[in-house]
Structure 1
């Protein structure tokens, strides 16, 4: 079985290989998880023949360089849209079964909960993770990362749907709060991990003593040690008996300070929620597609869609972006394509100005817990940080780290490429500041990565997206606008796109409501 790093040996081109000549040629723009899954399922389609079909995958900078490499990776049967969620959730399981996803891209089932907690009075002495940089965060205004409490505390399944809907609304209204589906680029060279981490003074101090304290911390967390409980309760104005807070979390959720929790509910068990590591998953699936010899990967920034005399999409024009041609003004045309698929996420509207898809910037961090690992939970939080202020980070426990993301913002316009996304360190440190109050394992751990990406959100009041299918221009297809559920819905989208491209109709799901032609005119080109 190939390792997740096998993509390192994949040939990356700057110019077409010539293999597409005389074949049914499909051009896919975007090597994120949607474009990669489309290429993969095309090569698995019953009628696909490498001697008759060829796929060119174009990516401006790097595979999974955007949200596909920085997403949380949560999978859920209660995601949206329900037209494709059941299909995609099942395909995730089938892919894992076929390729050993547990070891190749960290696929596993897990439990998801929603937690309300009050952290506003947690003493600094309790929040042992506070460094000098985080103390400065604590003293500043929380305007950029707070929101009013607005949901029913007893809401169960719809909670995540509502969170995602709020993400879309914040994009349309220009809200300056912070949410994400973010992850790491986790570039092939592990040295980049250390460069990006940029440990704070706190992290450096913690690293020195983490090994010695790890076992003791694990025991204390697992047993909810009385001394720690009493100290926290006292700092929050609670009695040692636990009044008024008698909430009991699941026994194995032992990395959360129970004394701070005001209410919690289950959002899904192992029957309905799972996770993947998006960066590893995207690269593995791409490698499998390219092993057929029918897929070329070209590094190039697409500038224009080409059309033939009949007005049908027939190719693209792009500028190579590989290192060997960096700074070159050369433009290369790919012509004679049968179909062109735009799987560019938030960058789709760069080529199709009328397409109502925009980018919502999302910050996230990954944390190495003091105990090395924590129990497998996805946790949606609503943390009270002031009288009327709430901060709502999401925490996803992975096999060897915890991924944390916040709410989205539209403060900075979408840059030209994923490499140019600005990461605001203060936003990342704010995430760490508050989740550290909730979890001793995280407060005594250290940050591995600080990162940001843009989620592709559909700016249409009547639909949450995505848009999947052929536009009103023959031969031009769109697969984008997946919001915070791109990882979840990628296999389903890829399979549906393979059917549309090779059969002319989607047979695996009814996607009539996701038809791009319902929402914009693709012929409006700059």
Structure 2
């Protein structure tokens, strides 16, 4: 240790040391809210955030970023949603992490090629006689799926006309009345059988519940049913990677927070007090610009030939490792569910209105695909269903990507939206959601474990982004006030579900 490092360590020796394991959205929000607590003082407390890979390198940076006041669990969702809005107002979230309110819907659509052909229902004999331009025919073919085998010429066997579908096509493609006179059949009656049902221009009977007019970047005529599940008052979005980095930067600005790239390998527990007093870790020499002893304000000693270090100068440890929690706390019933996602750059982003969509797409007679599609400020985000095909990678490694799953996302989402089909895939990625494997609870686990001074915040599943800020605030309250004040967490306490002492050994 250099003289300056020794001096700094001596000056801070009396400080209360808090270690946060994991620089995802939960860990970074916790660091931020610790520094915001009324009892926090940089002269009295010091926080070290340990990260084995990169800040927000997993689900925290690869999630869609949907926020909703109906997120679960109910004791967290609504309040945390409001806190996100307040943070956006305080720090210009629209600029710094793309925060904005948006509408959210769920929809069902049949995107099988034969169904698309049937719904578009262009009688080729009429088309041939109408004088439709070559450009219009090309656009109609694109509506049938672009690269699919279905094309305008395949509709020659159509036996009936559908004025509503022709109206939809006219609206979608801006075809002139001259081009489409031959399509009209004023004797056809419009029929809709339910909420959003039918195949009219609005994806359903206009007299019942048409799709929102501003949602004009999907193939509306393919939608069989839909429902609104959130509006600009109840749902919003942000870019989770940008948000997580911003929160960590704000915490570091306090002058009491340091980031150390290191893989935490174990916890040290005093055999008499049964409290955590330290940890062991393996520093990442490539990512740290300084040695651990120059970054840390407490003493460390090498315990392995590979450079592993240990310290016994920690007062509180907060584990925020997401799906990797059980790698440190073996008895913890949290595992990882892998999910793939892509981002797409449309040809004209100005035409993409702010919507989040939960979809159920029929892709074969007995097969459905359910991507979530979020229009962001400068791109479209698409994510798929989870799988457990591969085990968690080492926390120092990135999540493995299945190219086929990413291509599947682009293919099926592109059938619903030509803006996606004609866009450019800018990112393919995968991450693991932290899932609590307990039949009586959906999680998360927040609070002190059965080991003294050892706290946990993990198992947030798909609502970790929404519930991150309240989780961080609650942990700050538990540490400084001895209990959660903002929300009840008695049913979320880790000590109810597992024994943290299994791997927390001296």
Instruction: Report if the CA contact (8 A) 2:344-2:423 is conserved.
Output: yes
Deviation at 1:322, TM superposition (A): 3.4
Q: Deviations over 1:351-398 (max 9, x none)?
A: 111100000001000001122241000000000111111100000100
What SS does structure 2 have at the residue aligned with 1:488? helix
1:15 & 1:227 partners in 2: Cα distance? 76
Instruction: Pick closer, same or farther for the CA change 1:129–1:300 going to 2, 3 Å.
Output: farther
Deviation at 1:325, TM superposition (A): 7.6
Instruction: Pick closer, same or farther for the CA change 1:128–1:401 going to 2, 3 Å.
Output: farther
Deviation at 1:492, TM superposition (A): 0.3
1:300 & 1:346 partners in 2: Cα distance? 17
1:482 & 1:86 partners in 2: Cα distance? 15
Q: Deviations over 1:124-152 (max 9, x none)?
A: 94368756xx99xxxxxxxxxxxxxxxxx
What SS does structure 1 have at the residue aligned with 2:501? coil
Instruction: Pick closer, same or farther for the CA change 1:335–1:509 going to 2, 3 Å.
Output: same
2:46 & 2:7 partners in 1: Cα distance? 11
Q: Deviations over 1:315-370 (max 9, x none)?
A: 21000113168998101123221110100000000011110000000100000112
Deviation at 1:20, TM superposition (A): 4.8
Deviation at 1:283, TM superposition (A): 0.4
Q: Is residue 455 of structure 1 aligned with residue 471 of structure 2?
A: no
Deviation at 1:419, TM superposition (A): 2.9
Instruction: Report if the CA contact (8 A) 1:221-1:254 is conserved.
Output: no
Instruction: Pick closer, same or farther for the CA change 1:450–1:22 going to 2, 3 Å.
Output: same
| Large movers: runs of 4+ above 6 Å | 14-17, 239-243, 324-328
Which of 24, 28, 32 is residue 24 of structure 2 equivalent to? 32
User: Could you say which residue in structure 2 is the equivalent of 1:390?
Assistant: 368
Deviation at 1:418, TM superposition (A): 5.6
Equivalent residues in 2 for 1:417-436 (5 A)?
417=395, 419-436=397-414
Equivalent residues in 2 for 1:329-368 (5 A)?
329-368=306-345
Which of 97, 103, 106 is residue 114 of structure 1 equivalent to? 106
What SS does structure 1 have at the residue aligned with 2:221? helix
Instruction: Pick closer, same or farther for the CA change 1:20–1:91 going to 2, 3 Å.
Output: farther
Which of 266, 279, 282 is residue 241 of structure 2 equivalent to? 279
Instruction: Pick closer, same or farther for the CA change 1:242–1:17 going to 2, 3 Å.
Output: farther
Instruction: Pick closer, same or farther for the CA change 1:45–1:227 going to 2, 3 Å.
Output: same
Instruction: Pick closer, same or farther for the CA change 1:15–1:383 going to 2, 3 Å.
Output: farther
Deviation at 1:225, TM superposition (A): 2.1
The TM-score, its normalising length taken from structure 2, stands at 0.78
Q: Structure 1 stretch 410-419 or stretch 493-502: which is displaced more?
A: 410-419
What SS does structure 2 have at the residue aligned with 1:512? coil
2:8 & 2:216 partners in 1: Cα distance? 54
Q: Deviations over 1:81-118 (max 9, x none)?
A: 11111221111011111100010000010000011111
Deviation at 1:30, TM superposition (A): 0.1
2:69 & 2:253 partners in 1: Cα distance? 31
Structure 2 unaligned residues grouped into runs of 5+: 118-139, 150-167, 193-197, 205-209, 290-303
2:345 & 2:317 partners in 1: Cα distance? 42
User: Could you say which residue in structure 1 is the equivalent of 2:156?
Assistant: none
User: Could you say which residue in structure 2 is the equivalent of 1:6?
Assistant: none
Instruction: Pick closer, same or farther for the CA change 1:438–1:418 going to 2, 3 Å.
Output: farther
Deviation at 1:494, TM superposition (A): 0.3
1:368 & 1:127 partners in 2: Cα distance? 19
Instruction: Report if the CA contact (8 A) 1:128-1:443 is conserved.
Output: no
Deviation at 1:447, TM superposition (A): 0.4
Instruction: Pick closer, same or farther for the CA change 1:446–1:341 going to 2, 3 Å.
Output: same
User: Could you say which residue in structure 2 is the equivalent of 1:299?
Assistant: 261
Deviation at 1:77, TM superposition (A): 0.6
What SS does structure 2 have at the residue aligned with 1:453? strand
Q: Is residue 41 of structure 1 aligned with residue 33 of structure 2?
A: yes
Which of 423, 445, 467 is residue 489 of structure 1 equivalent to? 467
User: Could you say which residue in structure 1 is the equivalent of 2:153?
Assistant: none
Q: Which has the higher contact order (CA 8 A, sep 6+)?
A: 1
Deviation at 1:221, TM superposition (A): 9.9
- Alignment length (residue pairs): 420
